[in-house]
Amino acid sequence: MQIAVIGTGYVGLVTGVVLASLGNDVICVDNNPEKVEQLSKGIPPIYEPGIEEMLKQTLKDGYLKISASIAEATRRSELIFIAVGTPPAEDGSPDLSAVRAVANEIALNIDKYTVVVNKSTVPVGSGTMVEEILLTAGVPRHLFDVLSNPEFLREGSAIRDTLEPDRIVIGASSETAAKKLMELYEPLKRPMVVTDVNSAELIKYAGNSFLAMKISFINAISQLCERCGANVEAVSHGIGLDARIGKQFLQAGIGWGGSCFPKDVRGLIATSNRYDYDFRLLQEVININSDQAILFVKRLETRLGSFEGKTIALMGLAFKPNTDDIRDAKSLEIIEYVLQRKGNIRAFDPVATDMTRKVFPNITYTDSVYEVAEGADAVIVVTEWSEFRQLDLNRLGASMKSRILFDGRRVYTKEHAERCGFEYQTIGLKS
């Protein structure tokens, strides 16, 4: 198929490259000339396992083209995916200005029947909004259909999630348009949910909000465990074996971050407010998540007496492993808290250092995880990178001022850490 993907951020680039790898003729469009130049050379602007290799291969094979022209992309394509950013406004509702701008540009260039697909995470009513923009611009109704096709990508496994999704959601008011997307995704042999546009738009928000709720629930339970002497890992295992609940997203830690959960939970709250429903449950999900990391770092502050003059080492900066994304990362909250209390920060992350340096240029960054612990009064595990699980804790502690390990992701066991001479504290376990 002839496909255009407007926007080469995380969702747009992964979508475009994967569809090109399946043999479609794809043009990815971005309005940033520097980005277009870099992508054309096979250099991706994001860190994602496998994306650079796939980008270079699809460019080499001729299935992928990079452009700055929405006009060119519209005229040559039968399917257009809108995959631009929808950052949250102050009230939590998504900013749809980029979606509107793209829709207006598409409207000026449609010259044949075209299926326009909202791939960006957008609130209920966005499909209608795009449709009205096209109609207002004078595009005849028979020349287009607007669909919703939300993404469910996880950073760090986005390519696999695109090729092997749990389900493909298609929101359409036209059977012809729905069949066009079904034909596109047929090679993947995955379950497809075909529904109306409004329901498809809500599925994305509802799904991510439910997962965020599971994490906040187990984190609330972890606070109870610390007070009553229970072990949250045992509690999580016990309830996760219930087939009605499932074990996924029941790992206690210092909270969720990233680009999806914070934005989508707030987006669903804003949508609910628009329809006069007070979604108090989701507000509490946010509150629990906001408290989790600070409660943990306050435990360390109490243990040390204060952070003033102390050196705290952070293992991990990204909001999760296998990404350099620090949006709403708990590391940023912890760094800010320690610095405000006149403490010093040493930090290491396999890939997210450059991103964090833009926010905190004056803290100390190291090239290795062993180096980060040198002279530290305590170490906090912030991101559960797999390489951290293989560390020699004796070596890590050898250069520390005091062997205090606060494990915010339950990477280690208390028994192992104590055998290596560490005082060990973690989430959901009484100290």
What amino acid positions are annotated as catalytic residues? 260
Pairing of strands 114-118, 79-82: parallel
Is the CB of residue 115 less than 8 Å from the CB of residue 180?
yes
Structure tokens at 302: 């109490």
Order of strands across the sheet that contains 144-148: 64-67, 25-29, 2-6, 79-82, 114-118, 144-148, 168-171, 192-195
Using DSSP bridges, classify how beta strands 2-6 and 192-195 pair: parallel, antiparallel or unpaired. unpaired
User: How many whole angstroms separate alpha carbon 316 and alpha carbon 355?
Assistant: 12
- Under DSSP, the state recorded for 88 is B
Nearest to 28 by CA among 12, 48, 52, 45: 12
Residue whose entry in the numeric block shows the structure tokens 């009484």: 430
Strands 378-381 and 311-315, by their bridges, are parallel
- Are the C-beta atoms of residues 214 and 250 closer than 8 Å to each other? yes
